[in-house]
Structure 1
Amino acid sequence: MTFDETPEGEGVRPFAVPIKDDFAAAAAEVLRRYRELVEKCFPDDWQPETGSRLVSDIETINANSDPVGTARGSLHGMLLEIAGLSWDTALDHVRALEHDIVRKPPPVWSPLVAARAVLESCLFLEYLIDPSISCALRLARCAGLWRKDTEHTAKLARVLGPEREVEAVDLDAYVTQSLADANVVQRHNAKGKLVGYEVDGESAGLDYNITERVASALPSWLPTPYGLLSGAAHSRPWMTNRARNLAAGSDDRLVGEAATVMTALMVVMASLEMSLVAWQGYFGFDLTEPLAKLADDRNHAYMYLLGLAHATGD
């Protein structure tokens, strides 16, 4: 739920109140502690577990003769590097949100924008290390994303100047050759446009549908939040006008709600938990206990912050 909806029979809409200082401080602290728990989930000296999806993928790749085996090994290594980069990026945005919650004046829509950034980083990671898919499909997905990033690099280069354009052309040639060496086959539509890649009969597009991925990958306790986050990130009036209406009769132009902060927290927590489940499934280490601890802390935090948001005393 988005936590500003009124459960049936309730007269008070949870968190549909202005952000108070004690609530903001407590919410930021809850998020900080939650992030630290997440960061402690990984063992310091972990090794890939025998029988894990990671080990299985490596064995599958190594079974190919060269140059295909070596090229696919490099593609898989890049995939793992990107997954780690996405995770670090997600945590960076979580830290930013911790500070944003307590700023003055209180935030209005920025918590949802930061939460969206966390979600997208985690979705990127989950898309690549999804333990339910084959090694071939994983490589096809990585190839598509690599090509898409190359296209974005070329667009940026046209803005930055001739020297960068030369670099972009070289990168394009390198990607094309690397994928060919790995026997990653291009897929084209009826008009001849490149639309994705195929590896050993498994195919993937150049990118993934975020809305569909949100619906299938996030934990079931958080209904699809992406439209709400996008409304804030893209400053759509159907979303942002609410803050102006809430400011009516005051000296403020916009007023933020505790509901916005709570929605951001729940999206971040769901995103991080989704990622941990993917890490666990792909690398093979057991995170059952830490995930149970995180769920327990999340449920307690919700009730604690609900009380602070609606406290009536001074």
Structure 2
Amino acid sequence: MNDVMPEGEAIRLFTVPITPELAQEVAAILARFRELADDTLRVQDPEAFEQNTTSLLRREAAEIDGLSEPLRTERQSLHALLLETAELTTSNALDHVRALEHDILMQPPPVWSPLTLSRVVLEGVLFAEYLLDATIPLNKRLARLAGMWMTDATHSQKLADAIGPEDQAKAADMLVYVKDCLQKCQASERHNASGKLIGYVIDGETAAMDMNITERASKAMPSWLPAPYRLTSGAAHNRPWMIGRARNTAGDGGLVGEAATIMAAAMVAMGAVEAVVDAFGEYFGVDVSEGLREMEDERIAFFYRALALAHGQ
């Protein structure tokens, strides 16, 4: 770099303005990662894994098939909902990668919105990884979904209370339906000393009502991406300690984004895509190593191109 750094001072990369050339490069790598993810995640098609009898998905399906009725049918439905939920949150995450591509190209350049969009990408991926986690048994997986499903039904009811009677009735029916389904699946409620519902137990395996996103991010995201959740939370929650940097950089009372912001957002999004591809591969029993290698190669090459663009090398 041409910048001269004082002796002993750490070099801070990308603390420069966002140029159109850099923005185009970042948007292009995000589009490329979406393309690679779309190609790899086609393993969700039943025809792609029908012959793979060793996959975790097939083993768990066989485990459920071994149950007696009516429990078998009820748990098959719950398991199908789990797969649908993982696909839904992943699709939403990839849609936000697409939104991030467009946001980065805005003129004037964005300030903190890229980090907020990348946060949605991260959370969507973490929900899918939480449900498809290959290190846990089937009953814990179903208990995790039970907690998430009930949490969502409760949130839906709270929203309905603020809208009106018709929505309240629909939300109340939904809550009854969820409780009935979980009871039929033999998902037992866990309560704390105060009587509050804190999770579910299925055949001895427990799970909380929802995942701990900060904890999950530290476990599930690639090791090359430290503290991604905390990195995005300051911007997403509009915290002055974070967003004030943009005003200090502007120096005239306005807000100015910098290259470091879009780079951080892109790296979080790329790390999230890598994580979810790995999770789907593990669960569906598909070798995704080639796709992950390609993502790694493209990510590293992108970083050096972006470094040259940002610092005029």
5+ residue gaps, structure 1: 1-5
TM-score normalised by length of structure 1 = 0.93
Q: Distance in 1 between matches of 2:189 and 2:67?
A: 19
Residue 169 (structure 2) pairs with residue 160 (structure 1): no
Q: Aligned residues: percent identity? A: 50
- Determine if the alignment matches structure 1 residue 211 to structure 2 residue 214: yes
Match of 1:89 among 92, 100, 115: 92
3-state DSSP of counterpart to 2:198: strand
User: 3-state SS of the aligned residue for 2:256?
Assistant: coil
> Which residue is equivalent to 1:294?
295
Residues 1:161 and 1:267: Cα distance change in structure 2 (over 3 Å): same
Distance in 2 between the 1:289 and 1:26 partners? 23
1:239-293 Cα deviation digits (max 9, x unpaired): 0111000001x5x701101000110011001101110111011000110111101
Alignment of 1:67-146 (within 5 A): 67-146=70-149
2:53 to 46, 50, 55: 50
The yes-or-no answer on 1:64 pairing with 2:63 is no
2:33–2:273 Cα contact (<8 Å) kept: no
In structure 2, give the amino acid aligned to 1:30.
I
Q: Give the C-alpha shift of residue 228 in structure 1.
A: 2.2
Matches of 1:186 and 1:204, distance apart in 2: 10
Deviations 1:169-212 (A, max 9, x none): 11111111111111111111111111110001000011011110
| Number of aligned positions between the proteins | 304
Q: Give the counterpart of 1:228 among 227, 231, 256.
A: 231
Larger mean CA deviation between 178-187 and 115-124 belongs to 178-187
Give TM-score scaled by structure 2 length. Answer: 0.94
User: Where does structure 2 lack aligned partners over 5 or more consecutive residues?
Assistant: none
Over the aligned positions, Cα root-mean-square deviation in angstroms equals 1.6
Q: Which has the higher helix share?
A: 2
CA distance in 2, matches of 1:11, 1:212: 29
Q: Is 2:63 the partner of 1:40?
A: no
* Structure 1 position 34, deviation (Å): 2.1
Aligned with 2:292: secondary structure?
Answer: helix
Q: What is the CA–CA distance in structure 2 between the aligned matches of 1:293 and 1:91, rounded to whole Å?
A: 18
Q: CA deviation at 1:9?
A: 6.5
Q: CA deviation at 1:132?
A: 1.0
The residue that corresponds to 1:27 in the other structure is 26
**How far apart, in 2, do the equivalents of 1:10 and 1:98 lie?**
33
The yes-or-no answer on 1:237 pairing with 2:240 is yes
